[in-house]
Structure 1
Amino acid sequence: MNKPITLNSHALCPYVQRIAIALVEKGVAHERRVVDLGNKPQWFLEISPLGRTPVLTVGDASLFESTAILEYLEDTQPNPLHPADPVERARHRAWIVFGAEVLDTIAGFYSARDAVTFEAKTAALRRHFTLLEDHLSEGPWFSGADFSLVDVAFGPVFRYFDVFNVIDNFEFFEGLTKVQAWSLLLAARPSVRDAVSRDYNALLRAFLLRREGVLAARILISGAA
């Protein structure tokens, strides 16, 4: 008998989205429970050693950290999302780590409190995507015909820019034709699209305004709030 699986999540967490996408791609039956990280319930603190999402509950066991959860799903569930070749698999793992680096830069971008930091993070994001352009396959997915865990990792990355690009024209993807095509395909894939609630964009804008940084000021100026 299969053990019940629950994804304990937060509405905006990109690492939760990784797990949500992988579960759907693998056809794994599961429930999803949203946690208020501003007021963490005791039951969540008992299953999350670091006090953050995602946490995947499998029967009586609780797994934390998205990379570890993705590897667990690869080890135990059908429909592999890693390539079979060990060298390619290692290469994909490295790009998943890079995806986390991009997310860290995004956090620095939307949290920047001064123009110098804001411009530095903007430039860093452009460099990240230029690097991706140089290493993307001819498509449709990161390494060709097969949707992989690298695609899973970058679906939540590109989702931020649906909101950022309404605020201002930052030209993050200017001239990067493969990155642009990849981001559009990811946005249209059902597992990626449905990894968040329908009010995600509004929730993200509200979150960005609470950061009270340079980007929040741009939101107010643009009227995108």
Structure 2
Amino acid sequence: MSAAPALTLVSHHLCPYVQRAAIVLQEKGVAFARRYVDLADKPEWFRAVSPLGKTPVLLVEGDALFESAVICEYLDDVLAPRLHPQDALDRARHRAWMEFGSSLLNTIGAFYNAPDEPALLAKREELRARFAQLEAVLPEAGPFFNGERFCIVDAVFGPVFRYFDVFEQLGEPPLFEGLPKVRAWRAALAARPSVREAVGRDYADRLTRFLVERGSALSRRIAGRLG
């Protein structure tokens, strides 16, 4: 593989898709800069490099790549170690579970935006069902999605589990009881340096403020607990 180019990851402090790219960059052991943007007040330079107006964007010596899956695939093509499986069928299966992770993020968003308690509980049950699907496909030994080797699916799910770390800190009941493989995977990802370092130390505080400001059922629960 060729030498690493100069890389800048255009980021938002809370974006889970940014975290994916940051985790892969950390796993590759390559130096990169981060440039943060306010998505509520997008600067013109950002609009020029992000056709969809979203993060992440990876600037590769001035060229812009957008969409997290594309960024992760590019990094895996040009930088060692390879995180995707070598076998084409396994690689396709991993890409399918990456998409499953994106779908889970959408359900998490619906959970924290649920307008009332019945909707909140319904989304919680939907999340539980999705993680039960994962329980059925995770390896017995672990600790990662593909067994002993960390892969891009792990990079996708590190940010997913991080939401539940904060939800539980804010008093929400645990979701993963009775799902031992999911729980072990979550713990392994939480201990991984690349996953820990994908966000700033103020991530939990930033996410808490974001959740309280949603005006949702979860917002009211959290505000009541925080007094």
Shift in CA distance, 165/49, structure 1 to aligned 2, threshold 3 Å: same
Structure 2: give runs of 5+ residues left out of the alignment. none
2:196 alignment counterpart: 193
Cα deviation, residue 168, structure 1: 3.1
Distance in 2 between residues matched to 1:108 and 1:168, nearest whole Å: 19
Secondary structure of the equivalent of 2:143? coil
TM-score (norm 1): 0.96
Whole-Å Cα distance in 1 between the matches of residues 26 and 40 of structure 2?
28
Partner of 2:34: 32
Using the size of structure 2 for normalisation, the TM-score is 0.96
Aligned-residue Cα RMSD (Å) equals 1.2
Question: Which residue does 1:21 correspond to in 2?
Answer: 23
Retained in 1: the 8 A contact 2:158–2:195?
Answer: yes
- Which stretch shows the higher mean deviation, 212-221 or 1-10? 1-10
Are the equivalent residues in 1 in contact too, given 2:10–2:59 (CA < 8 A)? yes
Q: CA deviation at 1:38?
A: 1.1
Report the counterpart of residue 173 of structure 2 in structure 1. 170
Distance 2:225 2:214 in 1: 17
CA distance in 2, matches of 1:19, 1:48: 15
Residues 34-183 of structure 1 correspond to what in structure 2 (within 5 A)? Answer: 34-138=36-140, 139-183=142-186
CA distance in 1, matches of 2:30, 2:17: 18
Deviation digits for residues 60-112 of structure 1 (CA, Å, limit 9, x no counterpart)? 21000001111111111110000101111111000000000100000000011
1:218 to 197, 214, 221: 221
Unaligned 5+ segments in structure 1 are: none
**Aligned CA distance change for structure 1 residues 2 and 81 (closer, same or farther; 3 Å):** closer
How far residue 189 of structure 1 moved from its aligned partner, in angstroms, is 0.5
Q: Secondary structure at the match of 2:213?
A: helix
Secondary structure at the residue paired with 2:30? coil
User: Aligned to 2:145, what secondary structure does the other structure show?
Assistant: coil
Aligned residues: 224
Deviation at 1:167, TM superposition (A): 2.6
Counterpart secondary structure, 1:79: coil
- Secondary structure at the aligned position of 2:103 is classed as helix
Contact 2:4-2:30 at 8 Å conserved across structures: no
Provide the C-alpha distance between the structure 1 equivalents of 2:62 and 2:143, rounded to a whole number of angstroms: 39
Give the partner amino acid of 2:127.
L
Alpha-carbon distance, 1:12 to partner: 0.1
